[in-house]
Amino acid sequence: MENRKVISQMLLQQQESFLHQIMTGDEKWIYFENPKHRKTWVDPCQLSTSTARPNCFGKKTMLCVWWDQEGVVYHELLKPGETVNTDHYQQQIINLNHALIIKQPEWVRRHSKVILLHDDAPSHTSKPVKDTLKDLAWEVLTHLPYSPDLAPSGDHLFPSMAHALSEQHYEQYIEVEKWGL
């Protein structure tokens, strides 16, 4: 509780608004089989909505997504069986920087630096990744580990994706790639 209070006070003491500089990212498993699943716990006056209930033991691939307040800036779909390690995450940060420069040059002109909000996974907090962030002059937003209130992907982006994936069936990786286009 004390750490949360100290970090909150530190963020409030920022001299200027920094929310427009925040870039955040997260990973989500995309399953090849997504049978329809109905939510059962809803108020009597509400309609139940369908969401994907994936086969957690079946074939899957990982989607990595980064966005700012304007929307998605960069995404990468890993090959089946691949996960994010230090080298991969370091390269993704470099790719994100290039995507930001190419896709949103006005963003680069308006903002002095990127403030990165990412979780504390070992691959995200390794020395090579910290060195890359330092070379790019990016700042990491200080927050407590496992802070679900600072993970907007869990509230909006990924549940919407789960709904869109409902009843989707993929045989091959290429079909998953085409789905997002």
Q: Which domains does the chain have, with CATH numbers?
A: 24-179 (3.30.420.10)
Q: Cβ distance 3 to 144 under 8 Å? A: yes
Encode pLDDT of 15-44 as tens digits. Answer: 556 667 788 888 888 888 766 665 556 666
Range among 45-49, 117-121, 153-157, 160-164 with highest mean pLDDT value: 117-121
Residue 113's Cα: distance from chain center in Å?
19
* Percentage of the chain lying above the pLDDT 90 cut: 19
Closest listed residue to residue 75, CA positions, set 156, 167, 179, 146:
179
Alpha-carbon distances, residue 139 vs 23, 55, 81, 143, 150 (angstroms): 10, 38, 31, 12, 16
Q: CA-CA distances (angstroms) from residue 90 to 85, 87, 106, 107?
A: 8, 5, 24, 22
Q: Cα separation of 181 and 177, whole Å?
A: 7
C-beta of residue 59 within 8 angstroms of C-beta of residue 172 = no
3-state secondary structure of 71: strand
User: What was the pLDDT predicted at 41?
Assistant: 62
Task: Show the tokens assigned to 134.
Answer: 């330092």
Average pLDDT score over residue span 91-102? 92
Q: How far apart are CA 134 and CA 6, in angstroms?
A: 24
Is the confidence at residue 92, as pLDDT, over 80?
Answer: yes
Confidence label for 69 from pLDDT (cuts 50, 70 and 90): confident
- CA–CA separation, 164 and 42 (whole Å): 20
Mean of all residue pLDDT scores within the chain: 77
In angstroms, the CA 123 to CA 127 distance is: 9
Could you tell me the pTM of the whole model? 0.71
